[in-house]
Amino acid sequence: MKLELLGKKLGMSQVYDDDNNLVPVTIIEAGPCPILQVKCNGTDGYSAVQIGYNPKGKPVNKANGCIKGHASKAGVVPQQVSKEFRLPDDHKLEMGTVLTVEDFSQISFVDIVSTTKGRGFQGVVKRWNFAGGPASHGSMFHRRGGSYGLCQWPGRVFKNKKMPGHMGDVQRTTQNLKIVKTIPEKNLILVKGSVPGHKGAILTVRVAKKIKVSQ
């Protein structure tokens, strides 16, 4: 079944697997995520569920009437973060049900959707790994991007030209990460490898859509 959880990246560590190999892992605090709303084809035109998440484990401070009313319909406290994901029409999830790490106990691989670290405005050497020019004195060409445009034709810069600009702070998905360990009592999932984002970043954990057998 298609399943998703909202969570928070706590950082990286390393653990020993069953074969006594040292594995680098990312520690993710996932859930608990109550279902705030259930959408169906009859009323909304599509089938989906909306889940919520409180990163600090506490209800949102100074929640307005809209947030309180939306949460009260599901019988839960106001949530700081919410997201919806599509489901088939025959799903059996109901409003007020709480999704936890235990729902991923039989899952081996997951996809992590998160936002990368923001790097601000960067040049072509850092942003696109350009080699740069000579480092000797007097060359006047060290970390520049070189020639960008053409002459009379077309008289402009082509689209998608690698140039300086804003770097990072974009959504990225890391696929087929192996679940090394789950700790349901602490709402923790340990996945092999790294995931995008800084410590404390809000992310989405979902069942892997493309599973590589080699892993």
Q: What is the CATH number of the domain that holds 25?
A: 3.30.160.810
What is the spatial distance between Cα 60 and Cα 112, in angstroms, rounded to a whole number? 24
12 contacts 176 by C-beta, under 8 angstroms? no
The count of structural domains within the chain is 2
**Is there a single domain that holds both residue 84 and residue 142?**
no
* Residue 97 domain-assigned (yes or no): yes
**Is there a single domain that holds both residue 80 and residue 93?**
yes
Full domain range(s) for residue 124: 119-167
Q: What is the pLDDT of residues 122-137, one digit of tens each?
A: 999 999 999 989 999 9
Supply angle C-alpha 6, 192, 186, rounded to 5: 50
**Is there a single domain that holds both residue 130 and residue 31?**
no
Q: What is the pLDDT of residues 26-74, one digit of tens each?
A: 999 997 999 998 888 888 888 889 999 988 766 777 788 888 888 888 8
**Is there a single domain that holds both residue 72 and residue 156?**
no
**Is there a single domain that holds both residue 65 and residue 124?**
no
Tokens for 139? 């060359």
* Residue 214 domain-assigned (yes or no): no
Tokens for 213? 């057998």
DSSP secondary structure letters along 51-68: EEE-TTSSPPTT--HHHH
Provide Rg for the chain, Cα atoms: 23
Q: Is the whole-model pTM more than 0.85? A: no
